[in-house]
Structure 1
Amino acid sequence: MKRKIMETGIQLFHQNGFKSTSVQDIVQLMGVTKGTFYYYFNSKEELLKDIHLSYIEEIVKEQEVILNNPSYDFTKKLYEIVFMLINNIKTKGPSARIFTRENRHLSENHVDEIKEKRAKFRKNTQKLVEEGIKQGVINKDFRADILTLGILGMTNWSYYWFNPDGEVPTEKVVEIFLDMILNGITSNERISNII
């Protein structure tokens, strides 16, 4: 039942936004009483927190499976992480959008718990970028922290514009992103030589 409440919450928060969805809306759609809701959750905000935690914990686990795969080199690991994030728009779109859009409705103690998990994903990605710099795949003059934030910003922002059922398939978007990350967007001189 808890999972069903979460799924209904995801559906309604995605469609109507957190603020415009009431506990009554959730239980009405499910055909249960408010008592059922409050048996599993103390508040609508606690439900939102659990949706956030469920999403971030799952993608951290998926990321760690990719990073710990001994048959993957740096480029394959980076590809698989970017693919996972873009592919989630199709497989977990509503949860991903709630995660990026609705976190402003969480109280500080709930935000801190989620920030810790987000930071883990970012740190794991940064370790991979540092590995790429060590191996010489990435220019040693680049800062790993800024490059990591750029990669995550680019992929996370995709939730706002990428249509997985549109004319550009997920694999093509990932290929373009990876090409930009590893090769840049110009064949001309580096920016440091221009400015």
Structure 2
Amino acid sequence: MTRIIKTPQERKAEIITTARELFAENGIEKTKVSMIVKKIGVAQGLFYYYFKSKDYVINAVIDQVFTEMECKMDAIVNNKKRNFYQKLTDYVDLYFESIGQVGPQIIQEIDLLSNAKIYRHIEDDIRELNKRVVKQLMEIGTKEGIINLQYPNEMFLMILSGICEVAYRMTVSREMILKLVEQGLNLKIGSLTG
């Protein structure tokens, strides 16, 4: 059997990708370092060469997810072919898709693991990314004369926060979310729900 030589960057990326897959399949708590290295087919010592502990690979997975999310959000805001309403709808869809991907499962498990540092890391990343993207979106809407609120950024962030809280407690449809955004931003009824 031929041994495959990988660069340190490739090997580290492979560990992160494998950990992410196993976290999604089994949950964070049930995924052991031994499972990660077994799936890759390397010695456990190699894992510890790249990551001091499982918490470090959890952080790397979270960073990877947020980098992907940030790229997608920037693409939405900068898409010249989409109007403000389409960008806003795309952003809301991505926001709730991302929460579904990262949010409840990872956050609940991190709570179970009592790892406040990682939990704060997730919250801080989400907050900062949303503040930046929301500011850009609201500036577009204000410039186009669609948004006419004294505090549009704060209002939209409050709406998203409230919808998240409701969504954790009950099933909320996409149509309801978009209607709540329309009402909260004082947009024309049907502008997002068509």
Normalised by the size of structure 2, how large is the TM-score? 0.65
* Partner residue, 1:84: 94
After TM superposition, give the deviation of residue 160 of structure 1 in Å: 8.8
Question: CA separation in 1, counterparts of 2:97 and 2:26?
Answer: 23
Q: Does 1:176 align with 2:159?
A: no
The amino acid that maps onto 2:86 is K
Please give the alpha-carbon distance, in whole angstroms, between the structure 1 residues aligned to 2:21 and 2:166.
21
Deviation at 1:85, TM superposition (A): 3.0
Partner of 2:124: 115
Instruction: Kindly provide the amino acid, as one letter, of the partner of residue 159 in structure 2.
Output: G
Which moved further from structure 2: 129-138 or 35-44?
Answer: 129-138
Change in CA separation of 1:97 and 1:146 when aligned onto 2, cut-off 3 Å: same
Runs (5+) with no aligned partner, structure 1: 163-167, 185-195
**Which residue is 1:50 aligned to?**
60
Deviation at 1:108, TM superposition (A): 4.1
Q: Deviations over 1:124-170 (max 9, x none)?
A: 113423543565534526653143142255369758977xxxxx9xx
AA in 2 matched with 1:147? F
Aligned to 1:6: 16
Match of 1:145 in 2: 154
- Residues 1:126 and 2:152 aligned together: no
Shift of 1:50: 0.7
Q: Secondary structure at the match of 2:29?
A: coil
Unaligned runs of 5+ in 2: 1-10, 185-194
Measured in 2, the distance between the counterparts of 1:174 and 1:120 equals 22
CA distance in 2, matches of 1:17, 1:25: 12
Q: CA deviation at 1:75?
A: 1.0
How far the C-alpha of 1:13 sits from its partner, in A, is: 2.8
Q: Give per-residue Cα distances to partners, 1:50-87, cap 9 Å, x unaligned.
A: 11111111111111111112232221111111222344
Counterpart-to-counterpart distance in 1, 2:85 and 2:126: 24
- CA drift of 1:19 comes to 3.5
Deviations 1:171-190 (A, max 9, x none): xx434322221036xxxxxx
What percentage of residue pairs aligned between the two structures are identical? 26
Mapped to 1, the partners of 2:103 and 2:119 lie a distance apart of 17
Count of residue pairs brought into register by the alignment: 172
Once the two structures are superposed, the pairs formed by residues 13-28 of structure 1 within 5 Å of their partners are 13-28=23-38
Q: CA deviation at 1:112?
A: 5.1
Question: 1:178 is aligned with what amino acid?
Answer: L
Change (3 A) 1:23 1:56: same
What's the secondary structure of 1:51's corresponding residue?
A: helix
CA distance in 2, matches of 1:109, 1:174: 29
| Structure-1-length-normalised TM-score | 0.65
Deviates more, 1:17-26 or 1:106-115: 106-115
RMSD: 3.7
Cα distance in 2 for partners of 1:149, 1:56 equals 21
CA 1:56–1:153 in 2, change beyond 3 Å: closer, same or farther?
farther
Higher alpha-carbon deviation: 148-157 or 55-64: 148-157
